[in-house]
Structure 1
Amino acid sequence: MTPVWTADLGDGTYRNPVLAADWSDPDVIAVGPDYYLTASSFGRAPGLPLLHSRDLVNWSLVGHALHRLVPAADFAAPRHDRGVWAPSLRHADGRFWIFWGDPDHGILQVSAERIRGPWSEPHLLKAGKGLIDPCPLWDEETGEAYLVHAWAKSRSGVKNRLTGHRMSRDGRTLLDDGEVIVDGDRIPGWFTLEGPKLYRHDGWFWILAPAGGVETGWQGAFRSRDFAGPYEERIVLAQGSTDVNGPHQGGWVRTPAGEDWFLHFQARGAYGRVVHLQPMAWDADGWPVIGDAGEPVRVHRKPAGPPQPVEAPAADDAFPGGRYGRQWQWTANPRAGWTVAHGGDGLRLACVRTAHTHDLRLLPHVLTQRLPAETFTAEVSLVLDPTGPGARAGLAVLGDAYGWIGLERDPADGAVRLVHRFAEPVADRERDAAHARVVHALPGGRVRLRVGVAPGARCRFSYDAGEGWRPSGPVFAATPWRWVGALLGLFAAAPEGPGSAGTATFTDFRIT
């Protein structure tokens, strides 16, 4: 299928964003002719997505490095904006490494000989609250290894500073207590310094780190001859006259052709944090210049290299053999029995019995993927197989507010009806019940569902029960969680009770 968003313009140029979906807090490396990228996955599983490219413009999703979040008990229920924050990806000593901060537990890492794994079990490198955005460096000039990280004030009471450590080369032990190597409070006008990426270049230690806030900030560069500092700083990328607000944290990569490029994110509300690619050069004083004289580019020539096929992370899914593709993630650590194996195509979800059928935000068994573009239409066919009273299944747009359309077996008479429900981002989650709408009786228990998403993440739901497409309900405005974009979701659930509640089968998930 043709990608719903294409960054490659086919004439040797590209347009931003190169990844028009919520690949938050990206980091990137080059290993030979290949580029690899990872991003925040927060409370979803599997986590730590792994993307591959040969030109920094066309990307595919090749796997995940984290099958289950740890500690497992903490992620048995949804923790939408917790979990895996701002990972760093590196290749050193013959291994791939990913370090990330869990704001409630500390700094963790995994490693593997090959990008597709197998990856090691998570290792807790530094325990504590508010430890975020870690980045390691293996310094080939000295043989030493280092780590830098930022702080989340919500957990630690500290922010706007970067702490550095010496680290063992096996990435398992910090060799000192750490010290503040950059204090943003001492730099006039700088605040919310975070997201550091640590490099060695031209005899300097470099830290590329954003400040000023996700929505309104800028990208900074710091350099020092000594890891412990002192560091001098400069703003190297800012919004300027463009519409790219707060160009925020990302990673520098050097291509085999010797070109330098920088990937960063832009916060776009319900769409999450989309990824931009900027050219990068060095001025006469040895400082990086990112974008067009320090402002983001909209269209630019592609990195030098062999032509590559147009590609984007997969979104469509025919669910061959009853299996779902790697673009899907659960809203918590998965459990056995959520999917049901069968001999044909189509995803068969168990109607999991739960006390929270009234609120999708509380369900761990919602299968989700990112909104793939600003404007698109998602469709899926649904059959509610023989189920118990109150069982329901549907297609959702899930955020702090949510809307879904699907099928429900009436608890009173057992009839299958098409329903449309939504909930506002309010503390009283029971308000979902006040926004239920019975649309259509469907004795056959079969329907095709659609959501069309327009600019501003305005969602229009519709359905086809065999008589053509019909709209359902008012336009729904999707919303993010605090720093996580809204998601497309498929789910099946049933009220608490004894025995199996049956299954729901989804087929031919398609995005245009």
Structure 2
Amino acid sequence: MEIETYKNPIIHADYSDPDVIRVGNNYFLVASSFNCVPGLPILHSKDLVHWRLVNYAVKKLPSPEYDTPQIGKGIWAPAIRYHNGRFYIYFSMPDDGIFCCYTDDPFGKWSDIVLVKRAKGWIDPCPFWDDDGKAYLVNAFAKSRVGFNSKLCISRLSEDGLSVLDEGRIVFDGSVTQPTIEGPKLYKRNGYYYIFAPAGGVKNGWQTVLRSKDIYGPYEEKIVMHQGNTSINGPHQGAWVETEKGEHWFVHFQQKGPYGRIVHLQPMTWFEDDWCIIGVDQNQDGIGEPVLEYRKPSTEEGSCHFYIECSDHFDKEELSLAWQWHANPKDEWYSIDTQRSVLKLFAVCAKNLQQKRSMFYMPNLLLQKIPAEEFEVVTKMKVNFNTKGSFSGLIVSGYTYSAIGIEKREDGNYLIQILGEVSGNKVYEKITASEKINQNEIYLKLRMRKCANSKFLYSFGGTEFFKFGIEFVPKEDIWTGSKVGLFCVNRDVEGKVFEKDFAEFDYFIFDDSGVKSLFSL
């Protein structure tokens, strides 16, 4: 019988800081969402390899501050747990505190978020219910907010898990041996309390396991996975999960530049001395290294065909779950005509924003994660512009970003490409290509190849496409990868939303098959 295998990454998309649990024969994964809304994505799997995006726990971020993009802020490093028939997700907003939301049905509506502890710089929370029913919370600290890091803290939680009862104790200081230790996950096995936590930084770090017979320590420490001689840098923050059949696996992320933090699955091995390694000890140094290919987990469901759907034909009343706004959305930004299968985006004014005329800081960017190393995406757009400065099209976001689309000028419509770069608090943005056109309907295409080398193309008939503008490589922003999506703005006129200026999109279609042959254009 042939052994089924899988290849890493299992998700080549930016699901940062993944945490995973199993409930029955269902696996659930949550990830950071930062300033993107809706937030706290929930993914579901039956085999730990194939995942489907099924829900978001947070529909809107809880402060007017998030009505404009707050890059690097928002929802950090969640943990998902199941206790007494209820699902809980804990997460931090690093300037505000630690929050929680809960539900009886992870596919349905989640509660409003609850402030568990108001504290600046408390991050990466994970709850734990002990055998005696007592509840605890472990967390790390953000040096950018409190002036220190590399320490882990454990606090008592109320029985319902919705409030912290004390100021907590520092149970581990990794300043010397485990610098920048963070992202802790708390478990119990064979009488030991285990804290799984990455250290050493996102790009060059490793996975550490701490253990103690007492929840407050002292904790022993052991590095259980590092990059070794593999190409998988980090490997960073993740979660231990046990299958229905008693196998042990670890899900983590790898930083991959503009692609974001992509998700890997590693085997785990426990030994008689109650220590483990993650991955495979290729170097025979007692530390695991990540695998690129391995036999599939043994689960009750076996193989399945889940996948994360990216394309959207705008034939449903709601946007596809793949879409996220760049900030808290407003109803007047868009509408969907299901009878015509059309998404209508209205021109939102850029001049009201602090970062005037900057595409990257527009709140109404409608974006998706980059879904593969190589792909193309095409959309069909028709504009109805009456106001100078209205501009709509296709964008690749990030600290280096680019957009292609139709802009309304005094003498008519122009096809233009914009290239922008964010550096510190400044944005440098310029038009790199401009061509007057007589049409208001156009097909726009993005092609991305390895190392995120990208270029735009256009067509007026939808069959023959022509290159436009310059090639570019997007750059990730704070904590997140680049994204691809749609926009409709006005770059010139004061105001809020121009209802008479809008763009209609018939579809947004991804294709990652056969792309290599297309780059000869």
What TM-score results when the alignment is normalised by the length of structure 1? 0.94
What amino acid is aligned across from residue 375 of structure 1 in structure 2? E
Equivalent of 1:174, from 139, 158, 164?
Answer: 164
What amino acid is aligned across from residue 275 of structure 1 in structure 2? V
- The answer to whether the 8 A contact 1:322-1:345 is kept is no
Partner-residue secondary structure (3-state), 2:64: helix
Aligned length: 495
Which residue of the partner structure matches residue 443 of structure 1?
438
CA separation in 2, counterparts of 1:511 and 1:84?
Answer: 27
What amino acid is aligned across from residue 47 of structure 1 in structure 2? G
Which residue of the partner structure matches residue 6 of structure 1?
none
Which residue of the partner structure matches residue 319 of structure 2?
324
CA separation in 1, counterparts of 2:296 and 2:125?
Answer: 30
Q: Which range moved further: 164-173 or 229-238?
A: 164-173
Q: Provide, for residues 99-128 of structure 1, a one-character-per-residue CA deviation record: whole Å limited to 9, x for no partner.
A: 001111110000001102321111111112
CA separation in 2, counterparts of 1:393 and 1:94?
Answer: 47
CA separation in 2, counterparts of 1:122 and 1:269?
Answer: 31
Which residue of the partner structure matches residue 62 of structure 1?
54
* Alignment pair present for 1:422 and 2:454: no
Partner-residue secondary structure (3-state), 1:155: helix
Unaligned runs of 5+ in 1: 1-9
For the structure 1 residues 424 and 430, does the alpha-carbon distance in structure 2 shift closer, same or farther, using more than 3 Å as the test?
closer
Q: How far off its partner does 1:470 sit?
A: 0.7
- The answer to whether the 8 A contact 1:39-1:86 is kept is yes
Partner-residue secondary structure (3-state), 2:144: helix
What amino acid is aligned across from residue 264 of structure 2 in structure 1? H
Which residue of the partner structure matches residue 191 of structure 2?
203
CA separation in 1, counterparts of 2:54 and 2:392?
Answer: 29
Partner-residue secondary structure (3-state), 1:419: strand
What amino acid is aligned across from residue 396 of structure 1 in structure 2? I
Q: Provide, for residues 486-507 of structure 1, a one-character-per-residue CA deviation record: whole Å limited to 9, x for no partner.
A: 0112100114346634210112
Partner-residue secondary structure (3-state), 1:143: coil
- The answer to whether the 8 A contact 2:12-2:373 is kept is yes
CA separation in 2, counterparts of 1:378 and 1:11?
Answer: 35
Partner-residue secondary structure (3-state), 1:362: coil
CA separation in 2, counterparts of 1:29 and 1:307?
Answer: 18
CA separation in 2, counterparts of 1:59 and 1:94?
Answer: 23
Equivalent of 1:87, from 72, 78, 89?
Answer: 78
* Alignment pair present for 1:289 and 2:289: no
Which residue of the partner structure matches residue 150 of structure 2?
160
Which residue of the partner structure matches residue 395 of structure 2?
396
CA separation in 1, counterparts of 2:213 and 2:226?
Answer: 26
* Alignment pair present for 1:461 and 2:456: yes
Equivalent of 1:255, from 239, 243, 246?
Answer: 243
What TM-score results when the alignment is normalised by the length of structure 2? 0.92
Alignment of 1:89-238 (within 5 A): 89-139=80-130, 141-185=131-175, 188-238=176-226
- The answer to whether the 8 A contact 1:261-1:279 is kept is yes
Partner-residue secondary structure (3-state), 1:491: strand
Alignment of 1:40-51 (within 5 A): 40-51=32-43
- The answer to whether the 8 A contact 1:462-1:471 is kept is yes
Equivalent of 1:302, from 275, 296, 308?
Answer: 296
CA separation in 2, counterparts of 1:469 and 1:93?
Answer: 56
Which residue of the partner structure matches residue 469 of structure 2?
473
Q: How far off its partner does 1:426 sit?
A: 3.0
Partner-residue secondary structure (3-state), 1:154: helix
CA separation in 2, counterparts of 1:11 and 1:471?
Answer: 45
- The answer to whether the 8 A contact 2:432-2:469 is kept is no
CA separation in 2, counterparts of 1:253 and 1:130?
Answer: 28
- The answer to whether the 8 A contact 2:350-2:357 is kept is no
Percent sequence identity over aligned pairs: 40
Alignment of 1:6-85 (within 5 A): 12-70=4-62, 72-85=63-76
- The answer to whether the 8 A contact 1:396-1:404 is kept is yes
Unaligned runs of 5+ in 2: 282-287, 512-521
CA separation in 2, counterparts of 1:458 and 1:171?
Answer: 46
- The answer to whether the 8 A contact 1:80-1:331 is kept is no
Superposed CA RMSD in Å reads 1.6
* Alignment pair present for 1:268 and 2:256: yes
Q: How far off its partner does 1:322 sit?
A: 6.0
- The answer to whether the 8 A contact 1:442-1:465 is kept is no
- The answer to whether the 8 A contact 1:416-1:445 is kept is yes
Q: How far off its partner does 1:189 sit?
A: 3.3
What amino acid is aligned across from residue 285 of structure 1 in structure 2? D
Q: How far off its partner does 1:473 sit?
A: 1.9
Which residue of the partner structure matches residue 515 of structure 2?
none
Partner-residue secondary structure (3-state), 2:145: helix
- The answer to whether the 8 A contact 1:44-1:80 is kept is no
